[in-house]
Structure 1
Amino acid sequence: MAEREGPRLDVPRAPRRSLLPEYDPDVFGRASERIARFLGTGRFLVWMTVVIVIWIGWNIVVPDQLRFDRYPFIFLTLALSLQASYAAPLILLAQNRQDDRDRVNLEQDRSRNERSIADTEFLTREIAALRTGLGEVATRDWIRSELQELVRELEEHREREHGPEGG
């Protein structure tokens, strides 16, 4: 048999070296969720407002030599734009992770519901079988009605043979 050239399919490939840094997507995702959770709080809004007020106040009140961002506040605008450009993708990443969790929970709920429906259908069949079985069993009320019918028949028979006085 001829030897085959090329990689074997039953042997895993050696990991490739990459120029890009390696990272754990789960760790990055958890960090993005923490950041997104913080960005959606009142505490973040308060701190952001305090920083902006101090920034603007500093650059208006202090002497010219100590100002680092003059009136149109170009550096402040750049910093806020940079913060927004990172916040949006982090929030989207956190939402995607939440969607994945919701999808898994939905699938689990669906399978639980399917099992519950199957169990309910099984119990319904069992109850129907028990009712059918009980329909063939003599119950106390049925026996009582049968005995009362027999007593009536015996009384009628006795009246026919001995008359109404029973003599």
Structure 2
Amino acid sequence: MRAREGARDRRSEPSTGGPARSRLDQPRTTRPGLITLPTYDPEAFGKLSERIARFLGTGRFIVWMTVVVVVWVGWNTLLPDDVHFDDYPFIFLTLMLSLQASYAAPLILLAQNRQDDRDRVNMEQDRARSDRNIADTEYLTREVAALRQGLGEVATRAFIASELGTVRSDLQSLLKEIDERRQGSEML
């Protein structure tokens, strides 16, 4: 029993060999003995990749790329042999173009994925807005129908005037009848 208590005491105390953690459900920020990799901001990297992808999709990029290739080929064919750095068949140029393409493709895909995410969020917001508009329209339609139904049950001026006319004529006939009875009782 004492061994268990001692083990429990040792587990609750931070070890002197590494950084102390107060919670076991959270990962350590650094791992002792391992090389820490550089961190980057995914949002900033995504924005940069979008800017590069936008530039790669312009005529300006094609013009600049054409100028670079023409200067490269011209330099290595038209100038004296002692200043050539990439002789025909331009293997180094091919390597540089392949390297540029290998970086351009993932950057373009990353930019497209970010645009797809934005489009998906906009579509979800539009769908929610449309659902709210439909619900509001249905509610207003029910309210207008209830008002129309309620107006059908409300007494209008014409209805009240006709009813008052009927009541007035009934009262007049009752007054005549009372007068006749009174006159008949006076005669007796």
Question: TM-score normalised to the size of structure 2?
Answer: 0.69
Task: Give the match for residue 170 of structure 2.
Answer: none
Deviation at 1:16, TM superposition (A): 2.9
* Aligned counterparts of 2:24 and 2:156: Cα–Cα separation in 1: 70
Aligned length, in residue pairs? 147
Task: Give the match for residue 104 of structure 1.
Answer: 121
Secondary structure at the aligned position of 1:15 is classed as: coil
Task: Give the match for residue 80 of structure 1.
Answer: 97
Aligned partner letter, 2:142: R
Asked if residue 15 in structure 1 is aligned to residue 32 in structure 2, the reply is: no
Q: Structure 1 vs Structure 2: percent identity of aligned residues?
A: 67
Deviation at 1:107, TM superposition (A): 1.1
Deviation at 1:115, TM superposition (A): 1.0
Q: More deviation in 103-112 or 8-17?
A: 8-17
Deviation at 1:110, TM superposition (A): 1.2
Deviation at 1:114, TM superposition (A): 1.3
Q: Flag the structure with more relative contact order, 1 or 2, with Cα contacts below 8 A and sequence separation at least 6.
A: 1
* Aligned counterparts of 1:14 and 1:140: Cα–Cα separation in 2: 82
Please tell me whether Structure 1 or Structure 2 has the larger radius of gyration of its CA atoms: 2
Which of 38, 41, 44 is 2:55 aligned to? 38
Q: More deviation in 135-144 or 25-34?
A: 135-144
Asked if residue 51 in structure 1 is aligned to residue 65 in structure 2, the reply is: no
Deviation at 1:140, TM superposition (A): 5.5
Any idea what the Cα deviations from partners look like across 1:91-139, whole Å, max 9, x if unmatched? 0000011111111111111111111111111101110110100111234
Question: TM-score normalised to the size of structure 1?
Answer: 0.77
- In the alignment, structure 1 segments of 5+ residues that lack a partner are 151-167
Asked if residue 62 in structure 1 is aligned to residue 102 in structure 2, the reply is: no
